[in-house]
Amino acid sequence: MVKIEAIVRKEKFADVCAVLERSGIGGMTVIPAHGFGHHRNGLKEKVKIEIYADEFQVDAIVEMVRNAAKTESSGDGKIAILNLENIYRIRTGEEGAAAI
Ligand SMILES: Nc1ncnc2c1ncn2[C@@H]1O[C@H](COP(=O)(O)OP(=O)(O)OP(=O)(O)O)[C@@H](O)[C@H]1O
Ligand SMILES: [Mg+2]
C-alpha cells in the first residue's frame, strides 16, 4: 500500500478531481496548500491531494493526475509516492488493502 501525494495548481484542481472521481480509487483527501518550487517566486496557492492506494494502481493514478494537471509551464507541481505501513478502516477495524 502507498500514499500518493499530489501538489497541483489551484486552477487545475477541478480537472484533476473530475478524472479521479471517475477512476477506481478508494477515496481522496484534499488540503489547501501554499508552496514554492525551484523558482522561489513567493508562496503560490496550490492544492494537495492525498490518496491511499495499492501499488498496482500507482502508474495509472500518476498518469491521470499528470494528464489533468499539466500545463507544461513551470509550477505544475509534484507527485510523491510513500510506502504505507498499514491502514485501518475506523468503522469496521479492517486493515491493509481491505481498508482502502
Ligand atoms: N522540494 C519540494 N518539497 C515540497 N514541496 C515542493 C517541492 N518542490 C515543489 N513543491 C511544491 O510543488 C509546488 C509546485 O512546484 P513546482 O512545480 O514549481 O516545482 P519545480 O521543481 O520548481 O518545477 P518546475 O520546473 O515545473 O517549476 C510548490 O509550490 C510546492 O508546493
Ligand atoms: Mg517551479
pLDDT at 20: 98
Instruction: Evaluate whether the domain defined by 2-99 bears CATH number 3.40.50.300.
Output: no
Which residue's CA is minimally distant from atom 16 of ligand 1? 75
CA distances from 84 to 46, 95, 97 (A): 24, 12, 11
Q: Which of 9, 16, 31, 38 to mutate to test the pocket of ligand 1 (most atoms within 8 A of CB)?
A: 38
Helices assigned H by DSSP within 1-100 = 13-21, 58-69
Instruction: Say what the pTM is.
Output: 0.96
Per-residue model confidence as pLDDT tens digits over 34-78: 999 998 989 999 999 999 999 999 999 999 999 999 999 999 999
pLDDT at 53: 98
SS3 96: helix
Per-residue model confidence as pLDDT tens digits over 4-40: 999 999 999 999 999 999 999 999 999 999 999 998 9
